[in-house]
Amino acid sequence: MAHPESRAESTSRLSHAILILASAGFVALATGVAEAAYLGIRQSILGHFIWSNRQFAWMTPLSWLGFFGAMALPFALVGARWPRWPVLPVMVGGLTFLGASGFIRLASAHRLHPVAVGVLAVGVALQVGIRVHRRARDWRRIVRVGVPGLAGVVMLWGGATSFVWQWRERQATAALGAPPSGAPNILLLVLDTVRGHNMSLYGYPRPTTPVIDRLAARGTTFDWAFSTAPWTLPSHATMFTGRWPWELSVGFLAPLDGAFPTVAERLSARGYLTAGFAANHIYATYETGLTRGFVHYEDYPLTPKQIGLSSELGQMLSDKKSSLAIRHVDRSYAETINRRFLDWLPTAGGRPYFAFLNFMDAHLPYETPADWERRFDSAADRRVNRYDAALGYLDSQLGVLFDSLAARHALDNTIVIITSDHGEHLGDHGIDDHANSLYAQLLRVPLVVVWPEQIPSGRRIEAAVSLIDLAPTIMDLAGASADSGFVGSSLRRFWEADSVPGDSVLFAAVDQHPMRKSWYRNRDGPLWAAITGEHHLILNPDSTRELFRYRVDPDESANLAADPTEASLVQRLLAALRPQMGDH
């Protein structure tokens, strides 16, 4: 039989260990609630991007709780074994240092030097640790009240936000009117960062897009489609509103406002069930304004990894670095987007739907499963190999999607549109990535429209077209050709015409990039472009011009702007650009 003193000592040790764990929970919840409140203020009141899951109210505190709980376990074991050691104040001080570091880093938008962050955090941690050591009884009372209190705040706040999102979806669904009889389904697939140059659909020697090639044979392909912007948000905004990016509110740090209705809003008004599934967790999420009109929208994944990344500590432990303070996320691959869409599809219940699927696989860092990683190994540039492999993997997943839809007979009376928001630089012109030039590698995108028996099969359109025509095309095919408010016109004019419609001038632009890397073409100001059926003019921030004949020079290696024979063309294109530029 154990001695009473031994039992009392054991109870004391256990109580001390529980206090250590509870203290870690209190610091974690306090830090998490503070961070979530800060994010909420930035998003709701200041209108800033926070690049966080819409469930951040509970995910952020849970992330801190997970990290600090794991860190507290060894302290609890040591404290239980040697209760006289100052384990509690040391641990609380250490966790406070991490919490303060994360909060200061976040509040400064990563602009404060890490040494300065560390110095400030050490000061906070020392003050807290000393007070815990000197006023142990007060600390016990704080923890006893604070843990359940903060846990209640998290559950109420998180539950309320979850309820609001679900309630809005139910209300929006219930408010849908009766759709037109026989209205087609519309499936818009945006292959984020896929450039036309690297698609076998457009003559690229590697078989990167065999699935799209086969699908295109059943519909109409536009050989020279151009985006209106070389990055995601303004390009998607144009596709959704039918307006030029410079007419809209969008920017690197500004969402799309409600000045112009979106396609999803217009189709919802016609009784369509609308849904979006976005893999781009930076510029295609709920906070970008692109979700307006979508009854159902999925962006950030709800995974253990994403929960871990929902706190600034999770961000610090990840390898993401950006001067825009863009948060690292748990990436969603094509198979995940497919699954989400297919899981949602039965809810349509016979009502026509408009579904937007955004795939991110061809975006940096070009990650693919191991068997695809080496699919296009060669002596070519490793970036090109990885990009082509990512494109090939994405294409194969589109095949899985189409097979699944065909097995469900879900492609009957369904319009399929495949395009991209922009391309990618793979060392071309000495540039990588995108959002940093207006060369054809970033502007030329795929565009395929398939609707058997309604749109010609195997048709190739040689005319240059712009994605500004996508919104009026979708509305036209949905039977709403009388809808107005678009700058562009339905692409129907091309596949129904006996001859190619007359040449028009297309436009594109990109704002000054906030990161201002030395090799970015837009580091010192915005870029503008005018495109005709044969030529592509770029106006640089310093007013210099570049002119290319992109059909015969698809790499745009020969600048013809100084050629005297092209002088009148340059002036004509500049004159066409000026009304678009306005005060920009």
pLDDT per residue over 480-493, tens digit each? 875 678 999 999 99
Domain assignment of residue 421, yes or no? yes
Burial of 350 (C-beta count, 10 Å sphere; 0-12/13-18/19+): exposed
Of 151-165, 233-247, 494-508, 513-527, the one with minimum mean pLDDT is 494-508
Cross-strand pairs, 508? 529
pLDDT-based confidence at residue 4 (cuts at 50, 70, 90)? low
In a domain, 573, yes or no: no
> Is the same domain home to 271 and 340?
yes
For 326-368, write each residue's pLDDT tens digit: 888 999 999 999 999 999 998 767 799 999 999 999 999 999 9
Closest CA to 88 of 139, 20, 14: 20
Q: Contact at 8 Å (CB) between 447 and 465?
A: yes
In a domain, 312, yes or no: no
The closest alpha carbon to 449, from 210, 187, 219, belongs to: 219
Instruction: Please tell me the predicted confidence (pLDDT) of residue 378.
Output: 78
Pairs from 49-53 (Cβ < 8 Å, separation ≥ 24): 49/253, 49/255, 49/287, 49/288, 50/287, 50/327, 51/281, 51/282, 51/285, 51/287, 51/325, 51/326, 51/327, 51/329, 52/300, 52/310, 52/327, 53/300, 53/302, 53/306, 53/310
The answer to whether residues 239 and 143 belong to one domain is no
Q: Which amino acid is at 420?
A: S
Mean pLDDT, rounded, for 12-30: 92
Q: Which of 474, 507, 542 is the last residue of a domain?
A: 474
What token pair was written down for 423? 């391309």
Over residues 283-287, the mean pLDDT reads 96
Shared-domain flag, residues 223 and 104? no
Q: How many domains does the chain have?
A: 2
**Domain assignment present for 378:** yes
Question: Do the beta carbons of residue 328 and residue 318 sit within 8 Å?
Answer: yes
Average pLDDT on 502-529 reads: 92
- List pLDDT tens digits, range 520-540: 999 999 999 999 999 999 999
Q: How confident is the model at residue 516 (pLDDT cuts 50, 70, 90)?
A: confident
Same domain, 155 and 96: yes
**Is 124 in the same domain as 212?**
no
pLDDT of residue 321: 65
Question: Which pLDDT band, with edges at 50, 70 and 90, does 430 fall under?
Answer: very high
State mean pLDDT over 466-475: 97
Summarize the confidence of residues 70-77 as an average pLDDT: 95
Q: In whole angstroms, give the CA distance from residue 323 to residue 303.
A: 26
In a domain, residue 528? The reply is: no
Residue 254: DSSP 8-state: B
Look at residue 324 in the predicted model and tell me its pLDDT: 77
User: By residue range, what is the domain housing residue 16?
Assistant: 4-164
Find residue 546's DSSP bridge partners: 538
Torsion of CA 54, 57, 60, 62, to 10 degrees: -120
| pTM (two decimals) | 0.94
Do 153 and 206 lie in one domain? The reply is no
DSSP-derived letter for residue 325 is: -
What average pLDDT does range 55-71 have in this prediction?
Answer: 97
Strand partners, 226: 444, 466
Q: What number is the average pLDDT over the span 216-239?
A: 98
The number of C-alpha atoms within 13 Å of 225 and in the hemisphere containing its C-beta is 31
Q: Is the pLDDT of residue 417 over 50?
A: yes
Shared-domain flag, residues 56 and 199: no
Percentage of the chain exceeding pLDDT 90: 84
Same domain flag for 144 and 196:
no
Regarding whether 436 and 386 lie in a shared domain, the answer is yes
Does any domain span residue 560? no
pLDDT at residue 325, rounded to an integer? 80
What pLDDT is stored for residue 582 in this prediction? 82
Same domain, 339 and 446: yes
Residue 527 within any structural domain of the chain: no
- What CATH number does residue 214 fall under? 3.40.720.10
CA distance 324 to 311: 17
Note whether 160 and 187 are same-domain residues: no
Q: Do 254 and 357 share a domain, yes or no?
A: yes
> What is the reported pLDDT for 1?
46
Evaluate whether residue 375 is within a structural domain: yes
